[in-house]
Amino acid sequence: MKRDCAPAKVFGDDRGAVTVEAALAVCGLVVVLALGVTAVMAVVGQLRCTDAAREAARLVARGDDARADGVVEAIAPEGARWAVHREGDTAWVEVSASRLGVELKARAYAVLEPGVADG
């Protein structure tokens, strides 16, 4: 009596398993890449808000509020909002924008020039 020593196939063959695993890996890499790009874009937007707030605060401190509006529009992300607050001889500018579902905010303080603080 001759016995066959080959194991029985219980689960079937593995044809196509590598293709499915590769497709899942590529999808995972695309998601990680998209999240990375989104994070970098949010950081760049935050830096632009910070730069715009700093430059606007410097102009407000010199008494040049009219130019501050153009500077914020040029430097900050599109659709950014900004506000100037004055208290005594200081002023602070807040620039905010909403990007990719994230609220970006930056604030800059400046001491007003003597001629500006008096008027």
pLDDT at 1: 60
CB atoms within 10 A of CB 44: 13
As averages over each run of 10 residues, the pLDDT of the chain (119 residues) reads 60 74 93 94 94 95 90 92 92 92 93 79
**Cα–Cα distances in Å, from 39 out to 26, 47, 96, 119?**
20, 12, 17, 43
Q: How is residue 73 written in tokens?
A: 């529009």
pLDDT at 103: 92
Fold of 18-118: Pantoate--beta-alanine Ligase; Chain: A,domain 2 (3.30.1300)
Tokens 């040029």: give the residue.
Answer: 74
Q: Give every CB contact of residue 57 below 8 A, 6+ residues apart in sequence.
A: 91, 92, 93, 108, 109, 110
pLDDT at 6: 57
The domain segmentation of the chain, as residue ranges, is 18-118
Residues 90/104, Cβ–Cβ less than 8 Å: no
